[in-house]
Amino acid sequence: MSRYFKYRSMMSCAGLMLASGPALAMSLQMPSLVEYVLNDDPPYQNGSLWLPPVSQSETVRLGWQIDAQAERFVLQQSNNGGVSWQTVYEGTEQDIELGGYTNGVYYFRVQACASGTCTGYVKSAPLKVAIPELGPQSVVASKQGEEVNVAWQPRSSAPAAQYRVYESLNGEEYQMVSATVQPRIQLQQAKVATTRYKVKACTDGLTCSQFSPASNEVGGLPAPENLSAIDKGAQGVQLSWQSVGSDTQDVYYQIDFSLNYSNWVVLANSTEPRYLMQPVPEGKIKFRVRACDQTTCYEVSQATNQVSRFSSQACLDSTKGLNVFATDDGYYLRRQLAYTSSKILPGKVLIPYASQSHSSAAYWFVSKNEHDQWQLNQTDQQQFNNAKKQQSNMLVTCHLNSNSQRPILQLKTIGSAQSIDLQGDLLMDGENPEQYFTFPPKVRVGSVVDILWDIPQGTTCDYDELSFVGKGAGPFVPYKTRNGGIEFTCSSQGSAWPYLVPVQVQKLGAPEFSSPVRN
């Protein structure tokens, strides 16, 4: 049985206190009534876990984000409504693909672990797996001039009402290009590209089979195979792959990489089937390669496993999923946000219900001000959509300031000495983080102390389930220490960083309990 503290809701004329959900620290009062609760389940944890509501294949891709320090993540799934759980992944990645699923409904939950302890679980909406019948087989494509003949073998003797033919150019997503009642078709090849085809057999307008296996490639160079990335520490990351083309072809390779789940950018070109990346930015990195000739670059390879040069959760949170777009006047930054909200059935199982998937985005624009200095300002979707822009080869990198432990963000191209410092502009009004909180010089873990806080507008500082905004004063119970003080997590405009209050903490007599949770 696990034991943890739960803050109860309280109302008073002095202020409002919230106890289920993150408590909002108001100006005059903090939650003060605490009770012990016994429960077999770990506490609920802030975060999100996203996946499609329906999968029509035996594989599913899912990702997650947890508002906690993490050395590793543990992902579990249940196929019996949460009665029992099975661990399906344990590691550092936050975006994976799982396979081997059969028809049914699945739930997932994930927790972050560090220093021998783990958070509560972030739970998913249900995933319904509904796999159609097997599709056609043995798809063969042959190019004749500007035309491509595609033929396939039906899976069963019963004729399909319609075959739908899908095309992939240079390894991109398959798009439907035509339909026929015959197990063959002749198509025009629209552009110079490595092209592959898949086929579905449909009995009516709504019921179709699975995709067939992909055809052979036509019209260009195939994707390099056996791509690997080996982290050699201070020497860099060594990439290697199988060569493409014949000795008589003039082939080179374009190497792309993605940092912290952001957009793919070009790293370098290489005439050899190998490349050494040096220096290596901090963060989580994946690589891919495509073969090129004098005309264009062709089909992209499968991405490598993730290489982690992971320095801090604050840097990952600040840069994760940031895509960069160039304009004539500056750069747009866009972060896509995906998360699931659920209500939880009370009791031992804690099954999520009424789950909803959400998506949104945050936008910033980087441009020069009247003093010829780069400045970052938050913008909106309308301005982003109306701007004339293109995908940029720049990305946002991050490292921690050795003194303040705050993330220093830079917009730069890997391998270039030029960069744009974003750190000062991500915060508002030149706020000084050393003035966020005022503590007594000595505090005792588990004992109430009176504190003051003065958080700039647009910034929130969290201590597990407590969120501090604006100005205020009230009682505070520290129950854990980190890095020689009391550590909060502050965030503003998509940037997050650890905020440390350097006070002398006495640990003797501290009670043993887990984090406060929302119920």
pLDDT digits (tens, 9 = 90+) for 273-321: 999 998 888 888 999 999 999 888 999 999 998 888 866 777 777 777 7
In the predicted structure, residue 368 carries a pLDDT above the cut 70 = yes
Element (H, E) at 103: none
- CA atoms of 298 and 116, how far apart (whole Å): 46
Instruction: For residue 294, give the amino acid letter.
Output: Q
Give, in order, the Cα–Cα distances in Å from 208 to each of 153, 211, 212, 310: 16, 9, 11, 44
Six token digits for residue 419: 């960069």
- CA atoms of 77 and 328, how far apart (whole Å): 48
Reported confidence tier of residue 203, pLDDT bands at 50, 70, 90: confident
Contacts for 180 with CB less than 8 Å, ≥ 6 apart: 162, 163, 165
8 Å CB contact between 202 and 208: yes
Winning range, highest mean pLDDT, from 68-72, 122-126, 173-177, 261-265: 173-177
Determine the pLDDT at residue 189.
Answer: 74
Determine the pLDDT at residue 10.
Answer: 34
In the predicted structure, residue 432 carries a pLDDT above the cut 80 = no
Give the torsion sign (CA, 99, 64, 407, 483): negative
Reported confidence tier of residue 371, pLDDT bands at 50, 70, 90: confident
In the predicted structure, residue 184 carries a pLDDT above the cut 80 = yes
In the predicted structure, residue 5 carries a pLDDT above the cut 80 = no
Determine the pLDDT at residue 141.
Answer: 94
Instruction: State the distance between the two ends of the chain, measured CA to CA, in whole angstroms.
Output: 17
Give the torsion sign (CA, 500, 501, 504, 506): negative
User: Across-strand partners of 322?
Assistant: 335
Spatial CA neighbour of 152 closest among 208, 219, 198: 198
Total residues found in the chain within this entry: 519
Lowest mean pLDDT among 56-65, 73-82, 250-259: 56-65
What average pLDDT does the chain have? 77
Determine the pLDDT at residue 157.
Answer: 67
| For residues 98-124, average pLDDT | 89
Give the torsion sign (CA, 368, 369, 375, 376): negative
- CA atoms of 284 and 305, how far apart (whole Å): 10
- CA atoms of 364 and 34, how far apart (whole Å): 41
Q: Is the pTM of this model over 0.85?
A: no
The better pLDDT of the pair 510, 424 is held by 424
DSSP 420-470: EE-HHHHSSTT--GGGSEE--SEEETTS-EEEEEEPPTT-EEEETTEEE-S
The C-alpha angle 470, 498, 44, rounded to 5 degrees, equals: 80
Give the torsion sign (CA, 285, 290, 293, 294): negative
| For residues 379-383, average pLDDT | 86
- CA atoms of 322 and 308, how far apart (whole Å): 17
Reported confidence tier of residue 35, pLDDT bands at 50, 70, 90: very low
